[in-house]
Structure 1
């Protein structure tokens, strides 16, 4: 049986907030997994700068349950309001700012749902003698490309969903 866990995320010009926690059951009375996130703070974006604005955030997975249980899972993230993984968009009123989220520090692999040119993260945990697993941290690499000259001052936001699928 596959279970899905979805958590909303928020993106701001100065802050990509991967906020909150969610809890879900792997299988009733067998295991539980909790997803937590930390903010991705871009800071101030200068549309005249030639360089990119890069930063990171974290998705944290904690699982517990039956001793020795192996819990394989994957982590996917949505397109946000743009509807496309090619260019995610933050909005401030009617104004747009292009950004994207990546699985790697070289900003080459777009984090998505595994469709097209995107990847999702495949991982798993084995529960220890106490039925627990150490926290697993997965880094989200955010990038706002430089020289977006049409950008006007404001707070830009987007909503991203993180989906944890385990089986």
Structure 2
């Protein structure tokens, strides 16, 4: 079983009294078959929720992703004595790797139209575990820190 733990940091970039939080469903690749020539794909959801005591407030935000155990171009799931290569993507075509620079971020915005009523935006992200990697049985994991800046 392969599990990826995602952590969040929320960093306000302006002084209004909006309250924002973020959460994720995390991802689980399940049981890895290293004899398959096909990659193992899965997806997760990042949810950003904001509310404010000011009606009509427009909030823009971005979500960045750390490298975890590897590098952003090649993340790694680890167990006690082995690694598996994987990565996180912004699109279902697995062409835009999620990271911490422009073009690698999830971006969004929301208009808070009512006082203290939360608004939530959900963003799907995608994960791919590369095929045909030598693997020993066990649980593999990585921890990615996701930072939401608004």
Q: TM-score if structure 1 supplies the norm length?
A: 0.80
Question: Does residue 66 of structure 2 align to residue 81 of structure 1?
Answer: no
1:72 is matched with which residue?
60
Q: Secondary structure at the match of 1:63?
A: strand
Question: Does residue 31 of structure 2 align to residue 44 of structure 1?
Answer: yes
- Tell me the matched-pair count: 149
Please give the alpha-carbon distance, in whole angstroms, between the structure 1 residues aligned to 2:105 and 2:112. 23
Please give the alpha-carbon distance, in whole angstroms, between the structure 1 residues aligned to 2:113 and 2:129. 40
Question: Does residue 129 of structure 2 align to residue 144 of structure 1?
Answer: yes
2:21 is matched with which residue?
34
1:53 to 8, 26, 40: 40
1:35-72 Cα shifts (integer Å, max 9, x gaps): 01112121110011100100011110000002111111
Instruction: Name structure 2 gaps, 5 residues minimum.
Output: none
Calculate the aligned-residue CA RMSD, in Å: 2.0
Question: Does residue 147 of structure 2 align to residue 160 of structure 1?
Answer: no
- Please report how far the alpha carbon of residue 137 of structure 1 lies from its aligned counterpart in structure 2 after TM superposition: 0.7
Query: Could you tell me whether the CA contact under 8 Å between 2:9 and 2:147 is conserved in 1?
Result: no
- Please report how far the alpha carbon of residue 98 of structure 1 lies from its aligned counterpart in structure 2 after TM superposition: 0.4
Instruction: Name structure 1 gaps, 5 residues minimum.
Output: 1-12
Please give the alpha-carbon distance, in whole angstroms, between the structure 1 residues aligned to 2:9 and 2:62. 15
Query: Could you tell me whether the CA contact under 8 Å between 2:12 and 2:149 is conserved in 1?
Result: no
Q: TM-score if structure 2 supplies the norm length?
A: 0.89
